[in-house]
Amino acid sequence: MEQYIVKGGNSLVGEVEISGAKNAALAILAASIMTDDTVTIENVPDVSDIRVLTQAIESIGAVVEHPQRHVYTINGSQILDLPVDNELIRSIRGSYYMIGALLGKHKNAQVALPGGCAIGLRPIDQHLKGFKALGAEVRVKPSGIVVATAKNLHGAHIYMDLVSVGATINVMMAASLAKGITIIENAAKEPHVVDLANFLNSMGARIRGAGTDVIRIKGVERLHGTEYAIIPDQIEAGTYMFAAAATRGDVTITNVIPKHMESISAKLKEIGCQISESDDAIRVVATGRLQPTNVKTMPYPGFPTDMQPQVVVLLGLSNGTSIVTEGVFENRFRYVDELMKMGAKVTVEGRTAIIDGQDAYTPATMSAPDLRAGAALVIAALSADGISKIDNIHYVERGYEDFPEKLRAIGGEIIKTASKEEESSALRRLNLKAIS
Ligand code: EPZ
């Protein structure tokens, strides 16, 4: 089984370039099939979730080309009336964006229900409610395939019962090709919601208000081809900022939009780090003891749930007691048992974790339970003096491009191994380096 072997204890120092946003790319690649013209998408991160989604898009007849590592061209003019379904598709969350895209363009979608990280129940009732309001008939087959069909889609006034990134994105896609005006109230405001709106507008859609609570979409007859570059990944950037802090490092994160990072930068300042910003970079310097604080995760512009495990890891190294409350998903502390193997002192009560900070973690062998928690365990391992092992890293690779390579470039000692032989050789290399 693939794993990371980490020799912790070094302060991370240097520069890391952030890749395109995975969650924006998933929505935008799915939306690319909403025109018969060719669409070119740049700055697509090279991560496994994206490879799965593009295979799904190809499997229903779209022509997908991948001329460079971060560039895809997609032509959906020959799409067949086939269900989007296989084991891989069921494994990723982003596949549900195919429902909005196919329903909008073809008025007919058959897509296997999404999987993704096990961080809560994750129902899609708000997506389905939105599609129904637009005039679609929606049912879920016993096989787990969502079938959404419509003769015509029409605009509607939709109140979301809760703030949902996925439902906002899905409804925005379908409504772009509906007749008349759709208003989404209580919409999600995440940077990738805005990125998808900008992308659809560059294809001729008429979406206003993305990034606020109310999004207004005037449906158009057709969308046309475009060239578009995905925004940088807010959570990847935040993860490296927290890795810098946990290792008392000095790291400059480049190719970011500092505005997207405000809640994360503010928290790091409270914890005692120095943060400086330029147009597209943020420098994090951490010296001395980290301070405890309280955090509640919330939809954007609040502190992101996708940074919750990373902040728990960091606060575990602070000088006192902190409380972290998970405000988005109901079951996102499953990794705490793994972190406790490193000696972390964390008590979880429902959606709240109480963390007693200490000087350092002790190295351990752990298992990544999901994508962001996996990255957080790597941060903990990088901070701990000695050798830790983390398996189940396919989760981490769903969303972090070149994770070990980027960490090595700033002084992290981390090696990915796929066999016992590779593990022994990695351990030899890491130990030799320690002696020399
Ligand atoms: C997106 O998930 C992201 N995934 C998640 O990123 C991220 O954690 C989440 O938004 C919140 O920011 C993708 O973009 C592919 P939601 P999504 O709909 O769309 C409940 C990562 O690590 N809800 O905003 O599934 C839901 O259960 C991942 O990159 C309903 O009850 O999140 C949750 O409690 C993990 N009914 C809350 O709303 C619905 O119909 C927010 O979910 C929809 C959601």
Sorted by where each starts, the structural domains of the chain and their CATH numbers stand as 3-19+232-435 (3.65.10.10), 22-229 (3.65.10.10)
Q: Beta strands of 90-189 (E only): which ranges?
A: 108-112, 137-140, 145-149, 157-159, 181-185
CA–centroid distance, residue 359 to ligand 1 (Å): 34
Closest by alpha carbon to 22, among 55, 53, 51, 44? 44
The stretch 30-51 carries a mean pLDDT of 97
Tell me the three state secondary structure of residue 180: coil
- Tell me: pLDDT of 165 over 60: yes
Q: Is 306 in the pocket of ligand 1 (CB under 6 A)?
A: yes
pLDDT tier at 113 (50, 70, 90 boundaries)?
confident
Cβ atoms of residues 37 and 207 within 8 Å = no
- Tell me: pLDDT of 77 over 70: yes
Alpha carbons 252 and 257: distance in angstroms, whole number: 13
Q: What is the pLDDT of residue 118?
A: 65
Pocket-testing residue among 165, 184, 236, 263, ligand 1, by greatest number of atoms within 8 A of Cβ: 165
Alpha carbons 417 and 423: distance in angstroms, whole number: 6
Annotated catalytic residue: which of 92, 117, 119, 158? 117
Nearest CA owner, ligand 1 atom 28: 306
Q: Is 124 in the pocket of ligand 1 (CB under 6 A)?
A: yes
- Tell me: pLDDT of 250 over 80: yes
pLDDT tier at 433 (50, 70, 90 boundaries)?
low
- Tell me: pLDDT of 82 over 90: no
Q: Is 252 in the pocket of ligand 1 (CB under 6 A)?
A: no
Q: Is 26 in the pocket of ligand 1 (CB under 6 A)?
A: yes
- Tell me: pLDDT of 117 over 70: no
Residues contacting residue 125 through CB under 8 Å, at least 6 positions apart: none
Q: Is 126 in the pocket of ligand 1 (CB under 6 A)?
A: yes
CA–centroid distance, residue 305 to ligand 1 (Å): 9
Residue-wise pLDDT tens digits, 380-426: 999 999 999 999 999 999 999 999 999 999 999 999 999 999 999 99
Helices 165-176 and 125-133, packing angle to 10 deg = 20
Alpha carbons 414 and 417: distance in angstroms, whole number: 10
- 118 Cα distance to chain centroid: 14
**Among residues of the chain, what percentage have pLDDT more than 70?**
97
Residue-wise pLDDT tens digits, 258-276: 999 999 999 999 999 999 9
3-state secondary structure 182-201: EEEECCCCCHHHHHHHHHHH
Structure tokens at 157: 């006034």
Q: What is the pLDDT of residue 91?
A: 82
Using CA of residue 158, residue 164, residue 166, residue 169, what is the dihedral sign?
A: positive
Residue 436 burial by CB count (10 A; 0-12/13-18/19+): exposed, middle or buried?
Answer: exposed
Average pLDDT, the chain: 95
CA–centroid distance, residue 255 to ligand 1 (Å): 25
Alpha carbons 270 and 313: distance in angstroms, whole number: 15
pTM, full prediction: 0.97
Nearest CA owner, ligand 1 atom 20: 122
Closest by alpha carbon to 228, among 71, 42, 58? 42
273 catalytically annotated: no
Q: Is 167 in the pocket of ligand 1 (CB under 6 A)?
A: yes
Query: Which position has the token pair 């290792």?
Result: 247
Q: Is 331 in the pocket of ligand 1 (CB under 6 A)?
A: no
The stretch 152-156 carries a mean pLDDT of 97
CA–centroid distance, residue 165 to ligand 1 (Å): 6
Q: Sheet containing 71-75: which strands, arranged edge to edge?
A: 63-68, 71-75, 38-42, 227-229
The stretch 281-296 carries a mean pLDDT of 96
The stretch 170-185 carries a mean pLDDT of 98
Residue 79, phi then psi, degrees to nearest 5: -65, 135
pLDDT tier at 121 (50, 70, 90 boundaries)?
low
Atom from ligand 1 closest to the CA of residue 192: 14
The stretch 157-163 carries a mean pLDDT of 97
CA–centroid distance, residue 349 to ligand 1 (Å): 22
